[in-house]
Amino acid sequence: MQFALDDTTLELHQGDITRLTVDAIVNAANSGLRGGGGVDGAIHRAGGPAIMAECRRIGGCPTGQAVVTGGGDLPARYVIHTVGPIWQGGGRGEPELLRSAYAASLLRAEELDVTSIAFPSISTGVYGYPIALACGIAVGTVIEHVQRGTALQHIIFCLFSAGDYAVYEKHLSNVARNP
């Protein structure tokens, strides 16, 4: 599914983010940038050791912020590593931190002067953020960013599971109907 917003196309894609040919992919990392399971593990496996070597040099990334490495062996030129919040019931600043993770990743992308970026569903795996709530924040933060003016022409939400894709599809079609 695609949705045109000003000069930018928002797209939903179901599958493995490491396979996408975009300028930058976003990693749902941990604050130590140590790699791990989920999308983080998949990115380091597919991208090879150069990404971890750069992560070690950077040292870490606080929750809600984002840092950049090269893409190693990935089709993407850059990986933007951001750290989403661990869900603790919603009253511990999780929504603001998740919004900040998306916003910080978009700012890094603007600094890199790239035109295409793909996001996984940050925090909704091991970190336990409910997908329906996280989806609203992800889409809302991206739309606000685009409406303020962007060099990004193509922004992909890459959902690994059919269930997550369906949640995003429903949300985005509501937004498209009632902008």
Nearest distance, CB of residue 18 and ligand ADP, angstroms: 5
Looking at the Cβ atoms of 126 and 151, the one nearer to ligand ADP is 126
Looking at the Cβ atoms of 158 and 172, the one nearer to ligand ADP is 158
Does 124 help bind ligand ADP (rule: CB under 6 A)? yes
Query: In the beta sheet, which residues pair with residue 119?
Result: 157
Nearest distance, CB of residue 7 and ligand ADP, angstroms: 26
- Determine whether 40 is an active site residue: yes
Q: Distance between CA 168 and CA 132 in Å, rounded?
A: 8
Nearest distance, CB of residue 111 and ligand ADP, angstroms: 23
Q: Which of 1, 3, 38, 60 binds ligand ADP (CB under 6 A)?
A: 38
Q: What separation in angstroms does the CA of 81 have from each of 40, 43, 103, 109?
A: 9, 10, 12, 11
Residue 6's CB is within 10 A of a number of other CB atoms, namely 10
Q: Distance between CA 163 and CA 152 in Å, rounded?
A: 27
Residue 8 has what DSSP assignment?
E
Residues forming contacts to ligand ADP in the complex (CB under 6 A) are: 16-18, 28, 38-40, 42, 84, 120-127, 158, 160-161, 164
